[in-house]
Structure 1
């Protein structure tokens, strides 16, 4: 099957997800650009870009999709014991460009390069300045020891990449994000593609059709556009040593 090429107009839309390939899983379309309007439209329709620098832009929607449930996310017990004496603190949207650069430079098992090239960095930097892309920073003093970045639409967060400069830094960033989003009534973090590391942290697969229906519902709620630096509440990594109280989703997450 030949992949459809996207039109130059960023408002041109995407093919139906039913046209996505099974091998490689979820490859849907090629071409277009990373204009903010196109990127936001992609995420709203369970699609994301993933390509190597120098190649045409490839657009994906794998089936199933991997998600974290924010209300039940808990770090492994042994790791939480380590955090009790941690002096690390967390912030949001204070060093976005640095987080993206560190994600690009982070070594990946089985990969010799990075997909986060200059074009991708510039595109997500634009989304950040428009208030749609956000970073979570884990800091040891002024040293960035871990972090992640992604895109927020309504009450849904689409994680793009994370890194650890010091062992455990990315886990703390993910756990801090999950706790804050749960407090805001945001039930899911999109983790995109299944891998053993994400599964070990509690991510679970969701059929693409169900994922699409849920994110379109969550995307209709009022979100938190603009910088998160002023509303970020989870500031201490040591606080993550204590699991959050269990409970069901808040009423505001219901569609």
Structure 2
């Protein structure tokens, strides 16, 4: 299957997304899960230990500083669905402003991050990675807070993993997902809008809504 940025965005708009079996497989297929993972934006589970870690600081959070580095970090594992074609197309989406990354930096190095696709007020989380303890959890906390602050209505995680479930993600039916997707696509949000995200502010906002 030949991908293009327009085809990718159309797929997301109707509730499907592409994957490959592994990094060396040139074939790409569309996925339409019967049960869909989503992150309620008012339901992130901030454990006491994660709150302490965020409060302690020692990290920097950036937006779109190193999109390709985040994609490569996500693909740098034994089993990955990110092949060369998928990487190339998501870099194109990023250049068009339809894909974004949130990076966590520690000691001047990229320690973790998450990236995804944006349409309307929907954020389609693609993948995340961590090279330092708690880096991906910090990234998700900051991402959820940013999505709320910038007007997003839907945070799609595709599948529900035990890790995501421990942080507050839930599973919904395909029909319910499409209902939420249609509502989010009818709204506008701006992922890159300047917002103040101090560690204490992120903790307070998440605690008040969860």
Give the TM-score normalised by structure 1.
Answer: 0.76
Among 163, 168, 176, the alignment partner of 1:197 is 163
| Aligned residue in 2 for 1:59 | 30
**Highest CA radius of gyration, 1 or 2?**
1
In the alignment, is the contact (CA less than 8 A) between 2:37 and 2:169 conserved in 1? yes
Q: Deviation of residue 40 (structure 1)?
A: 0.3
| Aligned residue in 2 for 1:244 | 206
In the alignment, is the contact (CA less than 8 A) between 1:89 and 1:236 conserved in 2? no
Q: Mapping of 1:114-125 within 5 angstroms? A: 114-125=80-91
Among 61, 65, 73, the alignment partner of 1:90 is 61
Q: Specify every segment of 5 or more residues in structure 2 that has no aligned partner in the other structure, as ranges.
A: none
Q: Deviation of residue 239 (structure 1)?
A: 4.4
Asked whether 1:127 is paired with 2:102, we answer no
> What is the aligned-residue RMSD (CA, Å)?
2.0
Matched residues in 2 for 1:161 and 1:186: separation? 18
Greater RCO structure (CA 8 Å; 6+ sep): 2
| Aligned residue in 2 for 1:16 | none
| Aligned residue in 2 for 1:45 | 14
Q: Mapping of 1:6-155 within 5 angstroms? A: 32-51=1-20, 52=22, 53-105=24-76, 107=77, 112-155=78-121
In the alignment, is the contact (CA less than 8 A) between 2:70 and 2:103 conserved in 1? yes
**Residues 240 and 206 (structure 1), Cα distance of their counterparts in 2 relative to 1, 3 Å cut:** same
**Residues 238 and 77 (structure 1), Cα distance of their counterparts in 2 relative to 1, 3 Å cut:** same
**Residues 234 and 203 (structure 1), Cα distance of their counterparts in 2 relative to 1, 3 Å cut:** farther
Matched residues in 2 for 1:160 and 1:58: separation? 15
Of 207-216 and 147-156, deviating more is: 207-216
| Aligned residue in 2 for 1:169 | 135
Q: Secondary structure at the match of 2:62?
A: strand
**Residues 237 and 120 (structure 1), Cα distance of their counterparts in 2 relative to 1, 3 Å cut:** farther
**Residues 164 and 236 (structure 1), Cα distance of their counterparts in 2 relative to 1, 3 Å cut:** farther
Q: Specify every segment of 5 or more residues in structure 1 that has no aligned partner in the other structure, as ranges.
A: 1-31, 249-255
Q: Mapping of 1:209-224 within 5 angstroms? A: 209-224=175-190
Among 172, 195, 209, the alignment partner of 1:233 is 195
**Residues 238 and 170 (structure 1), Cα distance of their counterparts in 2 relative to 1, 3 Å cut:** farther
